[in-house]
Structure 1
Amino acid sequence: MHLENIVIDAVDPHRLGGFWRQLLDAERLTDGPEGFEMRVHLDPGNGPEPGAFLDVCLQPVPVPPTEALRLHLDLLGGPGQAEVVERALALGARHLDIGQGDVPWVVLGDVEGNPFCVMEERAAYRGTGPIAALPLDSADPARDREFWSWLTGWAPVEGVADASLRHPSRRGPLLEMCAEPAPKRAADGKNRIHLDVRLGAGEDADAVAAEIVARGGAEQHPDWGDLPWRVFTDPSGNEFCVLPAPSGA
C-alpha cells in the first residue's frame, strides 16, 4: 500500500481546485462534474513512482462543511514565508484567527474557508516540496504513528509534532500525529479532508481490511452507492479510504 491522495470536500471543486493548483504549482489531472484532481510532483525525475507525487482531489459536497478540521495542510514557507502568504492572499485566501495567538506560522483560510498554515523555517521540513506537513488529530500519537506507518509504509522521523512519519525516500511532507483538542464524535460527521491509500499488486483487500480492524481501526459502511473503494477510520476515528490496486497490477 502507499499513500496516494489528499481529498478535500468542496462546494465548488473547480474554484477551490484552481486555488490549490496555483498555490501548489500542481499539474491539473481532471476537472469536471465529479471533481477536480491535481498532482503535486515531489521528485520530477521519478515520474509515477509512489513517493514521487501526491494527488490532491477536490470532491463535491452540497453544503459547506462546518466541523472542526482534524487534518489540514501546512505549506512550506521558511525564508520565503512572506512570499507564500502574499501569493495565497492574491489567489483569494484570507487571514484567519482560530485562537492560535502569537505563533511564528501564518494561519490562512482558502477560498472556501478551510484553514491551512504557512510555516516558518524548520529543519524537519527541508526538501518536502510545497506541502511541508499533514497534521492529523490523534487520541494517542504513538499508537497512531504505528498504525499509519503500517498502512502507508512511511517511516518514523524526528519532527516537531508528538509523532511524525515520512516516506522512506525522505521526499514529500511529514504526516504528523498531533494530540487532539477533543475526541472525534459521531455527531461531528466526516472529516472534510481525508487521506486515501492504494493497494499494491497482489494485496488482498479483505486481508487488509481485517488487519486494519485488528490494529484498532474500523470499517465504515456509508450509504454512498456502489463504490470501488472501501471506507475506514483509524484508531482515533479519522476517516480514510483504501483504493483498489491499479488496473493490471
Structure 2
Amino acid sequence: MYLENLVFDALDPSRLGRFWEAALDAETLTDEPDGFETRLRHQGGPDLDLCFQRVPEPPSEPLRLHLDVRGGDHQQDTVDRLLGLGARHLDIGQRNVPWVVLGDVETNPFCVMEEREVYVDTGPIAALPLDSRDPARDGELWEWLTGWTPAPGVAPVSLRHPSRRGPLLELCPEPEPKGPGKNRLHLDVRLESGEDPDQVARGIAERGGRELGHGWGTLPWRVYADGSGNEFCVLPARG
C-alpha cells in the first residue's frame, strides 16, 4: 500500500483545486465539473495527488486534517503570494504563534510555517497534521497503511516517506473528539498488485480501525476510519 491522495470536499472543485495547484506549483490531472485533480511531485520521493470532489453543502465539522505550507525564511513572501491567489487571514484562536493561519478560497484553514530543521526537502507542503485521540496507536496504523516510517518532528508521532522527501504526516493530540460528520479532508491509500483487500481490512481492524458503511452504492474502493474516527479510503490496485 502507499499514500496516493489528499481529498478535499469542495463546493466548487475547479476553483478550490486551481487555488491549491497554483499555491503548490502542481500540475493538472483532471478538470471536470464535479472533480479536479492535481499532482504534486517530489523529485526522488513520492507523488501526492490532491483531489477535489463536489459536495452539495459547506462542511460544518471542525477540520481534523489540514495542510502546513512551508514558508521558512520566505514566510511573509509566501503569505503575500497566497493572499494574492485568494486566501485570507483567519483567526481560529491561535494567538501569538510563529506560523500564520490562512483560509483557502473555501475557508479551509491552513498554516504557513516558519523555518524548522525538520522541514528539509519537504517541498511546498511541510506537514499534514492529523488529529488523533491516541497518536501512538493511530501512528502504527498509518505507518502500516502508507509505508511511511517514523521521522524527526514536533508531533508525538511523525511519519515520512522512506526517501525522506515530501511532507511529514503528523499525529497530533486532538483538541476534542471527532463529531458525527464526515471530515472535509481525508487521505486515500492505494493497494499494490497482489494485496488482498480482505486481508487489508483485517489488518486495519487489528490496528484499531474499522470499515464504515457509507450508503453510496457500489464503489470500487472501501471506506474506513482510524481509531480516532478519521475517514480514509483504500483504493484497488491499478490494472
Q: Give the TM-score, by structure 1 length.
A: 0.94
How far, CA to CA, are the matches of 1:34 and 1:12 in structure 2? Answer: 8
Code of the aligned partner of 2:99: W
- Match 2:217 to one of 213, 216, 225: 225
How far, CA to CA, are the matches of 1:221 and 1:32 in structure 2? Answer: 27
Deviation at 1:33, TM superposition (A): 2.5
How far, CA to CA, are the matches of 1:21 and 1:127 in structure 2? Answer: 19
- Match 1:72 to one of 56, 66, 73: 66
Deviation at 1:214, TM superposition (A): 1.5
Question: Which residue does the alignment assign to 2:183?
Answer: 191
- Match 2:198 to one of 195, 206, 211: 206
Deviations 1:128-176 (A, max 9, x none): 0110000000001111111110111100011011110000110100000
Question: Which residue does the alignment assign to 2:137?
Answer: 143
Deviation at 1:223, TM superposition (A): 1.0
How far, CA to CA, are the matches of 1:205 and 1:82 in structure 2? Answer: 45
How far, CA to CA, are the matches of 2:146 and 2:65 in structure 1? Answer: 16
- Match 2:80 to one of 86, 95, 105: 86
How far, CA to CA, are the matches of 2:102 and 2:75 in structure 1? Answer: 12
How far, CA to CA, are the matches of 1:158 and 1:24 in structure 2? Answer: 23
Deviations 1:72-116 (A, max 9, x none): 000011011111101110011000000001000000000000000
- Aligned-residue sequence identity (percent) comes to 68
How far, CA to CA, are the matches of 1:62 and 1:196 in structure 2? Answer: 21
* C-alpha contact 2:61 2:179 (8 A) present in aligned 1: no
How far, CA to CA, are the matches of 1:142 and 1:103 in structure 2? Answer: 26
Q: How does 1:53-202 map to 2 (within 5 A)?
A: 53-186=47-180, 189-202=181-194
How far, CA to CA, are the matches of 1:185 and 1:111 in structure 2? Answer: 24
Deviations 1:40-78 (A, max 9, x none): 0111xx5xxxx4310000000001112100000000110
Question: Which residue does the alignment assign to 1:240?
Answer: 232
Code of the aligned partner of 1:18: R
Q: Does 1:42 align with 2:73?
A: no
How far, CA to CA, are the matches of 1:62 and 1:162 in structure 2? Answer: 36
Code of the aligned partner of 1:65: P
Could you list the runs of 4 or more consecutive aligned residues of structure 1 that deviate by over 6 angstroms after TM superposition?
none
How far, CA to CA, are the matches of 1:165 and 1:121 in structure 2? Answer: 19
**Matched residue SS, 1:57:** strand
**Matched residue SS, 1:42:** coil
Code of the aligned partner of 1:131: I
What's the C-alpha RMSD, in Å, of the aligned pairs? 0.8
* C-alpha contact 2:137 2:207 (8 A) present in aligned 1: no
Q: Which runs of 5+ in 2 are unaligned?
A: none
Question: Which residue does the alignment assign to 1:17?
Answer: 17
Corresponding residue pairs, total: 239
Q: Give the TM-score, by structure 2 length.
A: 0.98
